[in-house]
Chains A and B, each alone.
Chain A
Amino acid sequence: MRAALSPAYAGGAMEDAREIEAGLLARAGQGDGAAAAALLDRLGPRLMAFSLRMTAGDRALAEDIVQEAFLRLWKRAASWDAAGAAQMSTWLGRVAANLAVDAKRRSARTAPLDDAGEPADDAMPVLAGMIRAEGLSALDAALASLPDRQRQAVVLRHVEGYSNPDIAAMLGCGVEAVESLTARGKRRLADLLRETEGDDHGR
């Protein structure tokens, strides 16, 4: 099952998805639990993967984000515009992205030295440890080891396909800053994955 979340998805199937999801949400808004469950099963797993990636694999935080995003969706059930600009999965993705950015911003304020700069040079062994300990894919482990804003910018741009101005609005910075964050993040990601590959081959 593939549930569209990002603006990168387009096409005729989108209209069907819109109608189906709007119908399910309307029924959920009238107290139909089966419709709510169907909508959750349709959009939830994709949103969870996205939230986990945005939060560097912080499962508790990702779960809070997914729950809050769906709570906001349920509250909009009666006023949801099926023909409106936003596809439901895209709307949920935006809400989750904003919640993840806010949560990380708050945690950075309470722990200012957490990830203020570039990752340390010994990030690679840490990465290998994360892959083993957390069962993460090499890509997710490498993403998780990036500084918060770099990771968020790379995920939003290169995984989800948001435009730089959209990402700038979500991160609360300028478009130039987004360009810089994504470029540095991607470069660092390539280095980390290259090192992991080299490490695997060296064994």
Chain B
Amino acid sequence: MTMADKDLDLMLRAARDDTTPLGDGLRARILADAVPAAVAQAASGADRVRAWIGGLVGVPAAAVLGLWLGMAQPTVVLEFVPADVGVDTADAALMDEIFGTVWSEEDAG
């Protein structure tokens, strides 16, 4: 009897169920990997929770502080704002050239 295509197909399909025992050394190495991986998972999970809490508390706190600073201490804010925040003549001319309108410090507020 020679190898027919059908026989080969059956042989290949049967090979699907094959198992090969893991050696003791390999088994030990794989299981040794599992513990540090679990520890790393736990650590990264805790870090993620800490980062979330930081974000949840930090963003509203920063917003409230900004509002308080702007409303209660305007002089502190204005101290850091340049006195000349309007559009100077050269900028106005450039804007005019680009947009075809008249730009002046009054228009810009």
Contact = CB atoms under 8 A, between A and B. Distances in A.
Interface string B28-57: 011101110111111001000000000000
Contacts of B29: 67
Interface in A1-49: 1-3, 5-6, 8, 28-31, 33, 36-37, 40, 44-46, 48-49
Contacts of A194: 2-3
A190 interface: yes
A70 B32 CA distance: 11
Contacts of B39: 31
Contact of B26 (A5, A63, A158): A63
A61 interface: no
Interface of chain B: mostly helix, strand, loop or mixed: helix
Query: B5, B15, B17 — which one has the most chain A CB atoms within 10 A of its CB?
Result: B15
Interface residues of A, number: 44
Chain B contact patch, size range: 20 to 34
A30 B38 CA distance: 6
Given A45-B20, A48-B20, A189-B8, A33 B34 contact: yes
Contact of B2 (A5, A139, A160, A197): A197
A158 B9 contact: yes
Contacts of B17: 2
Given A28-B34, A197-B3, A49 B18 contact: yes
A49 B20 CA distance: 5
Contacts of A63: 23, 26
Given A3-B19, A67-B26, A159 B12 contact: yes
Nearest to B17: A2
Given A29-B38, A67-B33, A74-B34, A1 B3 contact: no
Given A75-B40, A75-B41, A193-B8, A67 B30 contact: yes
B83 interface: no
B21 interface: yes
A153 B105 CA distance: 74
Interface of B: 1-3, 5, 8-9, 11-13, 15-23, 26-27, 29-31, 33-35, 37-42, 45
Given A28-B34, A63-B26, A139-B12, 6 more contacts: A2-B17, A31-B38, A36-B34, A158-B9, A189-B8, A194-B3
